[in-house]
Structure 1
Amino acid sequence: MRCGALMLGERMHGEHCQNGQHGDAGFDVVAHLCGARMPVTLGDLVTAPEFGLRMVWPTLDDGPDPRAMGGPGRAPEGASDSSEQTALPRVLATEVAWVHSSDLPDPAPWLEPGQLLLSDGAQFAGDRSERFAQEYVARLADRGLIGLGLSEGIVHDRIPDAVVEACRERGLPLLSVPRRTPFIAVIRYVADILARDRRERLEWSLDAQRAVARAASSSGGLGATIDELERRLGGWAALYDAAGRPLPFGGAPAEHADQVELLVQRTLTTPRPNRRHSLGSDEAVALERIGTSAHPLGVLAVRTTAPFDPAANDLVASVLALASIALEQRRALDLERRRLRSGALELLLSGRLDTADRVAAPLWGTAPDGPLRVAVAPHGAESAELLDALEAAAGDRGWTFFAERDGDLVMIADELGMRTVRSLLSAHGVRAGVSGRVDAATLERGLSEAAAAHTASRAAIGEYDDLVGDGLEGLLVASGAEGLARRMLAPILEADADPARTAEGASLEDTVRAWFESGCSWDRAARVLGVHRHTVRTRVARAGVLLGRDLDDPTDRAEVWLALRLLRRD
């Protein structure tokens, strides 16, 4: 007589451990072990010498002994390529979630996928038909069981052929359990391993949580936290900001960097993104959004080869919480720094240099006494990437200060620092204007010059010095004033286009231009045009009337002359 009922929330249904039969053991244990890893395999049970279990299917009685395989999942030497023998390693590598024992005619309602069922086979005794065996095995297979173990030498001297055939048809592994092996021993064997694994995972989890907490409170802060996560999970981890840019904490390997960044962008912009993505081969990346879909703070990417177990998930969740706090603080700090920069800029522009120096110097250094230049980029140029680049460059080469003002990005630097500023603006495709040389007391003038250079220049980086070299006319040309000149001179241009006017000789435009180029001398203009000086007077007077300008007035005369020069350029 054998006893093996494991009384763990079992449903006995009136069956008792008597007459060599086993009760229904351990139906509620799965709930207790839910979430734990499953380190026990069918191969572990078959190769355990204390049990003497034997595979009946997929290995037949006269097939190779699975215990001679050298461990689960390894094919025996000299094995043939039959479908049964090639399936054996895969079967033996199947993980066991739990082991039950029951002789009920239909135990399926109390079973869960991934479990192994042991039975004395009493349900197959008497006049049970072959159809009963087929339906019984079908119910177990449909329930997701990984195998059926039947005793030999108690109810049946050997496993009924109908059961063997039914298992073969439904692909359900079938094991033979010797008479001497109590089911409770197999159940306790699996339970002990699962319990030990749960204990080890709990200890690992507690140790990892403590390590991450210590890292977060260290001087390394968020960087040390990500490093600790990498060590604990045995793979790389990377942190990205709300714009999808990698932060200097951890990092994806070069071969996956672009792919991961693309996946991060999708995670940030998709309301319910997938959390796990394949990177090819057996490698994948788990992406966890930090913050909400409406206000994301960033994304944590962690390399994985399999879905995380609960302990690893808990660790990642802890790191996410710490990263969320750190990134929120970083965002708030960045906002305050931007406000502080804007305030310091206003102090500089208002001439309160001593106050500005006390405010800004501890963070950005004291402005040099030598010449400075001011650069202005229009509204919308202050991208996070450019601001980060300017922040990194400040103090690297020369002195650089930048701040936002009325939506524009204002940069102040010495000569060396401004070279870096120009390079960064060009690299980010930002148009800007750069002033001439100023000093700390004349920054307001530099701001005006930079704004004028940006407005007037056709170059991506407009230089005020270049505009000054071309004079006022150059400034007007650079600002696109030719169109204004054409509109101003339109009345005489339209008059010159009249065929009747063309027949009279030189146009009004040519006459006025010749007059200006002759120093406003009627006689010299007449000789240039080959007409009488009274004709020149008449035409110039007519042009003044059409233009609505008094050409005897120096101001009107200068405007018309400048318009003619711009029209010639056009």
Structure 2
Amino acid sequence: MSDPMVPPTPPVRLDALLAREDLGLRRVAGPDDPGTVVHWAHASEMADPYPYLLGGELLLSAGVHIPEGAGAGYFDAYVSRIVAAGGAALGFGVAPVHEAVPEALAEACEMHGLPLLEVPPRTTFSGVARAVWQLMAQARLAELRRVTEAQQSLATAASRPDPVRPVLHQLAQRIGGWAALYTPDTTELTTAGTPPPPETRQSLANLAKVLRPDTTTPAAGSRTAPAAGSRAAPAAGSHTAPAAGSRAAGAARVGAAAPGERRQVTPAPARTPTSASDTVDGTHLAAYALGPEHGYVLGVASPQRDPGNHTIASVAAVLLTLLTGRQQSGTAAARSSALVRLLLGAPPEDVAPLLGGERWQVVHARPDGPTPPDPLTTSALGTALGSTLVDPTGEAVRVLVPADRPVEPLPGWTLGVSTAAAPPDWPDADTQAARALARARATRAPLLRHGDRPALADLVPPHDADAHARALLAPIAAAPALTDTLRTWLSLHGSWDRTAVALSVHRNTVRQRIARCAALLEADLDDPDVRMELWFALRRT
């Protein structure tokens, strides 16, 4: 198994285990390769451990399975099965079964290229496993710190006046490789970092072509030869980039082919993939589509493939999607002009055409988790909704979306959507979206839209309706908390629990506020006629 299934947790270098003085491990056979890594430790006394290994293990054994008088043939078969399963190394515990590592075992490990470690009597296998997990946790913490610092530097670079080059520079620096931005015709627009060899560079360009929306892909069952200058021609990836080291990388990764060998090409999905990866001459290549409507592609070449580099490159791809989309559409200057005109007092209807449309929807969004969204998350939300007009301030993220763009549920978000509105009605649409979001959160629906069906209240002249609403609600007008609670409680049919969820307060607080409203209004809130009249009035505020 040349590509063992391994977890996304950073592996542990075998040299780091050997350096632990408390373990006392000693290499007695096998290659002294500083690049050897261990993904976990597993103890087994099976004569054939192959069915119980996933790959990447430090296999620990005390030799209980070794029959008396076992010869070279037994050890050769045993070690070959470990290597075939993708085992990283073998740790042999001396005492109480064997006083020393069998010489035939050492010879077999030397022949098959499997590192063999001697585990002294004072070191337990559980102690070795614990050391692996400790080193793994340290590596994971360092990886998270590296990714966090990279995200911050990329966000800072994206805020500069000419952000594309700084973002590419930071990306190349953080992954220790090379980054390129390809135009829709797969020409290198700008690059950063140390360029790879010409053959590898061409392979990355070929990989970028796979992500072009107009790229045609061979039909299922067709065969193709490797690209010139590359041992492995790039192939289409899945719609999400594969996890590093996974056997399931499948359609998104192509392994190296033997010289002159022709390979079966994995059939492409119906839609153009958003990412693809390959490994050429020891260099990991990855490409990310920067929005299907723009055709720009981010190409990355790094010395190794790991989840940290993939995460960093994905963040850069999100940022570059926004930046290239803005350049491609040419609306940045128009939107800046619209903002300036609004600040100088121009009416919204005069500047709306500069934003690309006359009618817009207002979307209010809140993340499903307890953590407020960061700038990258809100930018990704705007991209998913097809708009860069995003306001992340306040409890909810507000997005202005063109009326002709459908708004669909998004994983991880709860959305409230207004009706399509002309610029003079944007404040009302903002209120509609807020109320729709409150109902969506209370009913645990991923998305709710404000109804646009004509209501009975529309038959009353607006001036008279407003005057009646002000007079009826005057006793609680000075207490916004009471007004909001009454509105939400009525909209949720008097449900205490759902109102508490919508307002993020305790249900007892809701009861106290409703009781206070009933007292101030001198009204029986259990009467449906009273509720209807209050709801009519609240709709006007």
- State the TM-score bracket (shorter-chain normalisation): 0.3 to 0.5
Q: Tell me the TM-score normalized by structure 1.
A: 0.41
Q: Which has the higher contact order (CA 8 A, sep 6+)?
A: 2
Higher Rg: 1
Q: Tell me the TM-score normalized by structure 2.
A: 0.43
Q: Which has the higher helix share?
A: 1
